[in-house]
Chains A and B, each alone.
Chain A
Amino acid sequence: MARVAEHAAALDVERIRADFPILRREVHGRPLVYLNSAATTQKPRQVIQALVEFYEQHNANAHRGVDTLGEEATALFEGARAKLAAFVGAPDPACIVFNRGTTESINLVAHAYGRKVLKEGDEVLLTQMEHHSNMIPWLLLAQATGATVRHLPIREDGTLELDALGSFLTHRTKIFSVTGMSNVLGTIPPLRRLADAAHAAGAVLVVDGAQLVPHLPVDVVDLDVDFLTVSGHKMLGPTASGGLYGRRELLEQMDPFMGGGEMIREVYWDRATWADVPWKFEAGTMNIAQEVGLAAAIDYLGALGMENVRAHEERITAYAMERLLDAGARIFGPTDPSVRSGAISFWFKDIHPHDLATVLDQEGVAIRAGHHCAQPLMRVLGVPATARASFYIYNTPDEVDALIDALRVAERLFRTA
Chain B
Amino acid sequence: MALEQLYQEVILDHYKNPRGKRAVPGAELSCSRNNPLCGDEITIYAHLEDGAVADLGFEGSGCSISIASASMLVEAATGRPLNEAQDVAVRFRAMMAGSVEPDEDTFGDLVSLTGVRKYPARIKCAVLAWDVFQEALSGAGDATGDAPH
Measured CB to CB, the residues of A under 8 A from B are 28, 352-355, 358-359, 362, 369-371, 375, 378, 384-385, 409, 413-414, 416-417
Contact = CB atoms under 8 A, between A and B. Distances in A.
Given A354-B125, A358-B119, A413 B7 contact: yes
B13 interface: yes
Given A358-B122, A384-B61, A28 B2 contact: yes
A354 B63 CA distance: 6
Range, interface on chain B: 20 to 34
A370 B39 contact: yes
Nearest to A371: B39
Given A355-B64, A358-B119, A358-B122, A417 B37 contact: no
Contacts of A385: 38-40
Cβ-closest 3 pairs across A and B: A417-B12, A352-B63, A354-B63
Nearest to B116: A358
B124 to A, nearest CB: 10
Nearest to B36: A371
25 contacts: A352-B40, A353-B38, A354-B37, A354-B122, A355-B64, A358-B6, A358-B119, A359-B3, A359-B7, A362-B3, A370-B38, A370-B39, A371-B38, A371-B39, A384-B38, A384-B40, A384-B41, A384-B61, A413-B3, A414-B64, A416-B12, A417-B9, A417-B12, A417-B15, A417-B16
Contacts of B41: 384
A414 B39 contact: no
A358 B124 CA distance: 14
Contacts of B64: 352, 355, 414
Contacts of B12: 413-414, 416-417
B16 A355 contact: no
B62 A352 contact: yes
Given A355-B63, A417-B15, A378 B6 contact: no
Interface in B82-126: 119, 122, 125
Contacts of B16: 417
Interface string B43-82: 0000000000000000001111100000000000000000
Nearest to B124: A354
A28 B119 CA distance: 13
A128 to B, nearest CB: 16
A138 B126 CA distance: 34
Given A352-B64, A413-B7, A384 B2 contact: no
Contacts of A413: 3, 7, 12
Given A358-B122, A362-B2, A384-B61, 10 more contacts: A352-B38, A352-B62, A353-B63, A359-B3, A369-B38, A370-B37, A370-B39, A384-B40, A414-B7, A414-B64
Nearest to A413: B7
Contacts of A28: 2
A384 B7 CA distance: 21
Nearest to B61: A384
A375 B34 CA distance: 12
B119 to A, nearest CB: 6
A378 B122 contact: no
Contacts of B122: 354, 358
Nearest to A359: B3
Contact of B13 (A359, A370, A417): A417
A346 to B, nearest CB: 15
A385 to B, nearest CB: 5
B11 to A, nearest CB: 9
Nearest to B40: A384
Contacts of B15: 417
Contacts of B61: 384
B9 A384 contact: no
Contacts of B119: 358
A63 B15 CA distance: 60
A416 B3 CA distance: 14
Given A384-B61, A417-B12, A354 B38 contact: yes
Contacts of A417: 9, 12-13, 15-16
B62 to A, nearest CB: 7
A362 B122 CA distance: 14
A355 B3 CA distance: 11
A384 B39 contact: yes
B118 to A, nearest CB: 10
Contacts of B9: 417
A323 to B, nearest CB: 22
